[in-house]
Structure 1
């Protein structure tokens, strides 16, 4: 989530506003355990009660953040150096460049980290029993089209086939950097 504050405040208050917004969002989503990653060390220590708050303007923020934390089963704060906080920088950039009306609603987007390439977890079974690349391979091998295709689909097949390379029985897909990816069927992929 990204938010734009439309009132004057210090950097410290903006950090607290962001923290409280995140805590409220987590509670609204019925999250019980939360890891809060921030680059403002003072906020983390103040909310955890490890450092006293001398500023009267910040004290209500600290109390509110602590009260929200008590509503969670488990909350952990972790400090990350500002130079390593790419997600916060990206959201800040998005907030600055996107101009939106006062009453508009922006659909949320999700950022997820994957441990493997998308193609590793997505394999479709071919309904006709032939591999997904059968038409491309047949065209490259014999210059033949599937039965009953229109001239438009023939043109599309020729264009698609330009991105592939056939070496004997093995079909490869050319990438933008001209490396070759071997095309496999559903059985070999799993």
Structure 2
């Protein structure tokens, strides 16, 4: 696909260090079943002006999976150029980020937490709002005072 789009520089992120090393020619390929694939990959690599392989350990492959998902859903209609994707990694987990309080002074998750704690709703809400709270509560669980 990258060749069809006339891409001349490519970053390949993979979680299988052995295969990356085999494609780069650093290690020999002994498995006959994958030898033809490695040879094909090596021939394709020569068609790029620059190609870089980056190993991502399986434990950290969420990033590679996310990139693959993004790549599979973006449509590039008649475009020979794709703008680079700018990604910034946070130094701390999202739960450390500041969340503004709602105008009533309560957190955005207050209704969900109350429902999970007591199976109760705020007074005066509609049946539709109750249904929404129940649906949203399915994505959370409460451990003592902490909502996950």
For the aligned pair, the TM-score class normalised by the smaller chain equals 0.3 to 0.5
TM-score (norm 2): 0.47
Q: Which has the higher contact order (CA 8 A, sep 6+)?
A: 2
Structure number with larger C-alpha Rg: 1
TM-score (norm 1): 0.38
